[in-house]
Amino acid sequence: MLTKKPIPFLDLVLSISEATDLIDSELNNHNKRVAFTSLNIADSLGFPNNFKYNLIIAGLLHDIGSFSLKERHETLDYNYRPEHPTNNHSYIGYILLKDFNPLAEIASIVKYHHHFWKDIEDLELPETLKLSAQIIHIADRIDVLIDKNRDVLSQVNDICHTIKKGSRVRYKPDIIKEIINLKNKEYFWLDATSQPEISTFTDKLGYLPLDFEIDIIDKFANMFSHIIDFRSPFTATHSSGVTATAEFLARAMDFSDNEAFMMKIAGYLHDLGKLAVPSEILDKAAGLNNEEFRIIRSHTYHTYRILENITNLEIINSWAAFHHETLDGNGYPFHLTESELSLGSKIMAVSDIFTAITEDRPYRKGMNKKDSLKVLNNMVKNNKIDSNIVAKVTENFNEISEERKKSESRAKKYYKEYRSIFEGQPT
Ligand SMILES: [Fe+2]
Ligand SMILES: [Fe+2]
Ligand SMILES: [Fe+2]
């Protein structure tokens, strides 16, 4: 049942950040290591906890705007520098995070995480922002310079030499001075190649000021639904449609207000695992090969694994992550059966299918009422989805469609604004 207990925000961000690194095995927890190295630099410089807290979150999310394998790969080159001021992952990350108030400051850090020091030094920005962006920038470049297949300590001299050459132009000189001070401290370099856990961060910080009250988790989830959907123009409004449908059906199936609220969050997050799928695959309307098909299908597995360790999100997770399970046990990835699936999970499955077939996609029109009900009823006949829920869809088809369209057109407006930032620019 829904509680008013806070959601452990750092846990949630950490899990999401792990998922975005799954798009390429070479990244191997890049985000977490950048967060850890940044924390160690800030520690060494004696910064207070709230500074460090923002730095960790920014470190974990710094590449959240990078959707494609191609761009993630490019950033692994030490000399990577965004070519365009707005059409690059730091700016996209900033745009996606900035409207969610608790992350506004973090969004700005993300925006500047590839900026050279000489380019931000004289900008009228808060000093803490410039410092944070620089620390992430340096931690990020250190991670790229380390060859993970070799002993890190034997590489320290070369890394420090390279970093030092960037002092003043690329990097803020006093931070580089601190890195050079850390040259002989083995822990710093061994930490930089470790696999940090949540406790790595929480133990160092103690009290965490930013845990979420349940009341704003829907706004967080809504923001994330855009990060999930905007990865591909084909699905730019999909989660919004699923959310509106699932919330409507939850009420129609006599869920309480609290439960309908939970359903809304589950709807926004149902495709969260797509963060682990590169946009190159999501952008293929057809013609996926077997491997690509398997990668896409694994998104619900990732949704489940991302959310499973988050306290107070257990029920929401089960509603979100089981939307490709079917009553006959032939769904994926857990092959749960009718008795193992809760009503909430069954509602999400119907909402996902309903939305997918009725919404317009850039490459095809949505189905009309008659055809979509035929599809849903066939699935009932084949013991795939729940008959009572489909009966509610049949009863309320026009109203649900209205709600779904309203919600998707809101998301479409936001998507258009987002795309307009890049209009006329190479993509
Ligand atoms: Fe980056
Ligand atoms: Fe990075
Ligand atoms: Fe899905």
pLDDT of residue 254: 97
| Least confident segment among 28-42, 91-105, 229-243, 280-294 | 280-294
**Cβ pair 109, 193 in contact under 8 A:** no
DSSP secondary structure code for residue 364 in this structure: B
Point out the ligand nearest to the CA of residue 239. Answer: 3
Q: What would the pLDDT profile of 284-300 be if each residue is shown by its tens digit? A: 867 889 999 999 999 99
34 CA to centre of ligand 2 in angstroms: 7
- Exposure of 237 by Cβ count < 10 A (0-12 exposed, 13-18 middle, 19+ buried)? buried
Give CA–CA dist 405/408, Å, rounded: 5
Give CA–CA dist 359/237, Å, rounded: 9
Confidence of residue 84 (pLDDT cuts 50, 70, 90): confident
Give CA–CA dist 122/320, Å, rounded: 46
- The H or E element that residue 412 is part of is helix 397-420
Collect residues with CB below 5 Å from ion ligand 1.
63, 75
Q: Identify the top-confidence range among 14-23, 50-59, 128-137.
A: 128-137
345 CA to centre of ligand 2 in angstroms: 35
Residue 1 has pLDDT above 80, yes or no: no
Q: Give how far the C-alpha of residue 82 lies from the chain's centroid of Cα atoms, to the nearest Å.
A: 21
Confidence of residue 427 (pLDDT cuts 50, 70, 90): very low
Q: 3-class SS at 212?
A: strand
Q: What are the backbone dihedrals phi and psi of residue 212, each rounded to the nearest 5 degrees, phi first?
A: -85, 135
- Tokens linked to 351: 């909402």
Tokens 């050079």 sit on residue: 180
80 CA to centre of ligand 2 in angstroms: 10
Q: What would the pLDDT profile of 245-266 be if each residue is shown by its tens digit? A: 999 999 999 999 999 999 999 9
Mean pLDDT, rounded, for 154-170 = 98
138 CA to centre of ligand 3 in angstroms: 37
144 CA to centre of ligand 2 in angstroms: 8
Give CA–CA dist 81/109, Å, rounded: 16
153 CA to centre of ligand 1 in angstroms: 24
Point out the ligand nearest to the CA of residue 356. Answer: 3
C-alpha distances in angstroms, 85 versus 79, 91, 166? 16, 7, 21
Q: Report the amino acid identity of residue 70.
A: K
Give CA–CA dist 222/271, Å, rounded: 12
Task: Mention every residue, 6+ apart, whose C-beta is less than 8 A from residue 200.
Answer: 36, 194
Mean pLDDT, rounded, for 34-60 = 95
212, β-bridge pairs: 7
Give CA–CA dist 265/245, Å, rounded: 12
- Tokens linked to 198: 């949540």
Q: What would the pLDDT profile of 318-360 be if each residue is shown by its tens digit? A: 999 999 999 999 999 999 999 999 999 999 999 999 999 999 9
Q: How many CA atoms lie within 13 A of 165 on its CB side?
A: 8
279 CA to centre of ligand 3 in angstroms: 15
**Cβ pair 224, 16 in contact under 8 A:** yes
Mean pLDDT, rounded, for 365-393 = 98
Helices (H) and strands (E) in the chain, counts: 23, 0
Confidence of residue 59 (pLDDT cuts 50, 70, 90): very high
Average pLDDT for the chain: 92
Point out the ligand nearest to the CA of residue 297. Answer: 3
DSSP conformation letters of 14-66:
HHHHHHHHTT-TTTTTHHHHHHHHHHHHHHHTT--HHHHHHHHHHHHHTTTT-
Collect residues with CB below 5 Å from ion ligand 3.
271
Residue 4 has pLDDT above 60, yes or no: no
**Cβ pair 191, 37 in contact under 8 A:** yes
Residue 162 has pLDDT above 70, yes or no: yes
Q: Nearest Cα to 63, choosing from 278, 220, 208? A: 278
% of the chain residues with pLDDT over 90: 76
281 CA to centre of ligand 1 in angstroms: 21
321 CA to centre of ligand 3 in angstroms: 8
Mean pLDDT, rounded, for 366-394 = 98
Q: Nearest Cα to 36, choosing from 186, 207, 194, 208? A: 194
Task: Mention every residue, 6+ apart, whose C-beta is less than 8 A from residue 148.
Answer: 28, 193
**Cβ pair 366, 357 in contact under 8 A:** yes
C-alpha distances in angstroms, 247 versus 16, 212, 403? 24, 22, 10
Task: Mention every residue, 6+ apart, whose C-beta is less than 8 A from residue 2.
Answer: 214, 258, 259, 261, 262, 315
